[in-house]
Structure 1
Amino acid sequence: MVAASGAVETLSFIALDHVFAGVMTSNLALLGMAIGRGQNTGVTAALLALAGFGLGAAAVAWLTRRHTGTVTLWSAPVMFCLGGELAVLAAGAGIWAAVGGTPGNTTRDVLQFGAAAAMGIQAAAMVAAGRAAAPTTYLTGTLATYIVKGVGAARPDRWVPARLCALIVGAGVCMALLRAAPAWAAVLPAALVLCALLTACQPLIRLRRDADRAT
């Protein structure tokens, strides 16, 4: 999921409107700079990203309002929401491929809104998952916590460096695709989310099989 975030951020910042799809604090700063410079395009892009992220997160909040997170597994409501993210990313990939990786102004706005909505869904789904998940779209706090509480600790969380590396890899591979095969670059985030969902389904499938055998 973190690698998918890195890929979406690359598409959003490099190939769309130079705003982030999942890092809203940075977008607020970009919005302020655009207002200060009198750049209508920058204001619109930042507002689209903020609105898309907020809508995606709000939808997950509503769908998981009665949800209680588990310790080890992503629950059915969380999986359903992440399936919705996959659908949004797949639709965006289809539009991206149809325009050959060079969207016009209106299409770019639609894709910007959709990318931010996907990241809002992912971020809120990870919050709803509770202790069975970790932040995947905004890792500044994760890095700060690791430095303060992890470095020098007897048993530091080894998954934090792995997630940070995944973010870099996702962004790097997406950038390479943008240069070599731009029409297919948007397929990468959707494919990465699909792989994450298939991996997350395996423990649920095993639990169901065990329950069936027990009965």
Structure 2
Amino acid sequence: MVGWSVEVPTVSSHIRRYAAGLILLTAATGSIDAVSYLALDRVFTGNMTGNVLFIGFALVGVAGIPFLNNVVALAGFVLGSIVSGRIVGRGHTRLLPRRSVWTLVTGALIIAGLAAVWAVLGELDDRGLLIVTALLAIVMGAQVSAVKPIGNSDITTIVVTNTLANLARDSRLGGGRGEKWVQRLLAVVAMGGGAALGAALIGWMSGAAALAGGGVLYVAGVLMLSLTSRAERRAESRVGV
């Protein structure tokens, strides 16, 4: 029909918005890992590389490493990723399926609940530390599988080693053309910035407050991904009409 058109957001705009959501989740991981390491007895709930190293150190007798806590975090992360992978499934035609969104929303609710209970209790005993560690690790593992359909290998939300390597390798100094350098750099900065925020909130207030701060970043990331997914579905339905 002459004079009638529908403005449809481009695929590239959706990709950029998904990247923004992943960067927010990366910042949340940095903040939550600051909480788990500084307030939950030297353990990571998002970055499993650190836990694997700590477990290795403990196995050869290095003192001062909470072996059980690191094993619990590693097991919780794997469990969360397995369950989330089953829920989300594979072979999705859209970048982010609804099951992924609901998995992430559930994770946000768990983080909020843990922060609230921790604030009420004030301090956690050894059993409490293990429970919070396990649940946070499950959320972090579930998050990874939930965002997997987006297919962004540069922003994994839990670790920036590969992102940093790609940033350096593909830079002009490394002989590349500098592609994707903005989102890669932002992911690295987000992880460090989130960690700094978490550490600052622990020092100024408490571990519970820092976890709540990480939860805010997590919710912001989930909202960005959810709204982008909804906009993408609407765009596809308009094209179909």
TM-score, L = length of structure 2: 0.78
One-letter amino acid matched to 1:46: N
Q: Distance in 2 between matches of 1:82 and 1:179?
A: 28
Unaligned runs of at least 5 residues, structure 1: none
Q: Distance in 2 between matches of 1:5 and 1:11?
A: 10
Displacement of 1:199: 1.7
Conservation of the 8 A alpha-carbon contact between 1:48 and 1:109: yes
Report % sequence identity.
25
Instruction: Tell me if 1:160 matches 2:184.
Output: yes
Q: Which one of 89, 112, 124 corresponds to residue 90 of structure 1?
A: 112
Paired position in structure 2 for 1:17? 41
Paired position in structure 2 for 1:200? 225
Paired position in structure 2 for 1:129? 150
Displacement of 1:117: 1.0
**Is the radius of gyration larger for structure 1 or structure 2?**
2
Q: Distance in 2 between matches of 1:25 and 1:207?
A: 34
Q: Against the structure 1 CA distance between its residues 209 and 25, is the aligned structure 2 distance closer, same or farther, given a 3 Å change threshold? A: closer
Displacement of 1:207: 4.8
Q: Distance in 2 between matches of 1:4 and 1:165?
A: 12
Paired position in structure 2 for 1:33? 57
- Tell me the secondary structure at the aligned position of residue 11 of structure 1: helix
Displacement of 1:40: 9.2
Q: Which one of 185, 194, 209 corresponds to residue 210 of structure 2?
A: 185
Bigger mean CA deviation after superposition, 154-163 or 73-82: 73-82
Question: RMSD of aligned C-alpha atoms?
Answer: 2.5
Displacement of 1:54: 0.7
Displacement of 1:140: 0.7
Displacement of 1:68: 1.8
Displacement of 1:67: 4.2
Q: Which one of 129, 132, 140 corresponds to residue 108 of structure 1?
A: 129
Paired position in structure 2 for 1:7? 31
Instruction: Tell me if 1:81 matches 2:142.
Output: no
Instruction: Tell me if 1:149 matches 2:167.
Output: no
Equivalences, count: 212
Displacement of 1:166: 0.8
Conservation of the 8 A alpha-carbon contact between 2:155 and 2:187: no
One-letter amino acid matched to 1:80: W
Q: Against the structure 1 CA distance between its residues 7 and 151, is the aligned structure 2 distance closer, same or farther, given a 3 Å change threshold? A: farther
One-letter amino acid matched to 2:214: P
Runs of 4+ in 1 over 6 A off after TM superposition: none
Paired position in structure 2 for 1:49? 73
Q: Against the structure 1 CA distance between its residues 2 and 69, is the aligned structure 2 distance closer, same or farther, given a 3 Å change threshold? A: farther
Displacement of 1:105: 0.8
Q: Against the structure 1 CA distance between its residues 133 and 165, is the aligned structure 2 distance closer, same or farther, given a 3 Å change threshold? A: closer
Displacement of 1:47: 0.8
- Tell me the secondary structure at the aligned position of residue 185 of structure 1: helix
Conservation of the 8 A alpha-carbon contact between 1:5 and 1:167: yes
